Structure 1
């Protein structure tokens, strides 16, 4: 796929999603960035601001398999991965795939399930496979988990384990809509949901080609060193108890490639790393001292912004010669 074709199709997906999600361009772009970078997206905010609507709009805009999991306290790991059932006709166990076997998996209110159930996604999110009863089953390609969660101060929620959070490429918040967008929502959704009229704008084959285009975006050695310097700075910062993992560095560069492609460029700039540092790193870091707001999202964001500002920007970071 040429970069012009990529740009045209990505604009189509953005326009499609914005017919449903009004006034949230940055959240829509971040969701598409994660999809094209082959990552997983965590949408965290209070109930009723459109978290699930964003996830469904992304899934509806692409013609591929989609499944939805409603996380509840009584959900079991087998309800996600699948289970082996004894078939009496041939006297053998037959595997019944669970909802994780889809291209896009929407996990609604993921932190309402117990940590044991949440951990059922660990293998699938990292290795794109599921192991049940000693047998391993490969997942579809591409495979993306788009999960929503309420703030951990809300009643009936469990905090996501560090290993689970680290598997999400980025975390975003929706925020409340402005008055104009909220008024338009009252008018447009009075009779039906805008999702009812949302049709796919790219096929699964085209999505795979778009992902391949993102992989081919050039990241110079200087830009990669810049990303590593930021990640290493989080590991020694006095205000952080847990810094960014090597997986976080890898996903930061991958997301930067997708952002560059969406901007019509064939190479990554330090600005891409700067813009993605908070959404990609913020949910993985743990502050040295407990602050209000659960994991201290605002405080951690401030620390990341300071680290980015203090890290020297590489002088030679242009595209390939």
Structure 2
């Protein structure tokens, strides 16, 4: 695919990605997805026009060309959610081209994404979350590995961490105190409280871990001492959920959803939960509100001055 892109288009793509990294703080995974999506778009247009898509050619793309690209994606059975993501990346690229090169981006920006059903978070119940942690600890014959896995899942549920954030902890973060300074998506920093049960789980793991905790080394290690692969956490969670008879949605990330949902159900403030999760937008956090509408109505009735 990349061979079909002109040097000028490739340079423009690199410039946009550098801009997204420097000014918008886009994460590496996001940048990788952006690059793939826009590369595929330009490669399609190369075949569509039967000519290399330099900067001048990219400026000539019109509404019929965008429709042809969208039809191409549908013919490939690309899911609506993925089509929407690809279109979002292309639009972002064209906004940058418009600012830098004076493009008229209307044809691209006016293209509508397909509608799709947004998946709401599917949290575990409190009992299921506790059972998941207990069961994960029993999946390995090697005691320190089971304790390690339980500590990771406890951090996801007890602190609302992303799996990448938990596995990104280093010896400099030890010993865990009452709070943790987390560098999340887009290099956004936040402070999260650490519950005693989470500190205890990590301490149990550290006591059994056979590898030294050097300042720059990852806290959570694989069996041979290297950084713990997130796929292993996903695998052990999958094994535990099957033993417990939980649905396929009971993933490591669901533990983070459960953290937020259970806080909300206990009367937590939505904006405070937004800060704890590291969401850039409150609208992202608001997805949790539909999970427990009964509780929200009770809070409304008790707190709203017009409700009495």
Report TM bin, short chain.
under 0.3
Higher strand share: 1
The higher-RCO structure (CA 8 Å, 6+ apart) is 1
Q: Which has the larger radius of gyration?
A: 2
TM-score, normalisation: structure 1:
0.23
TM-score, normalisation: structure 2:
0.24
Higher helix share: 2
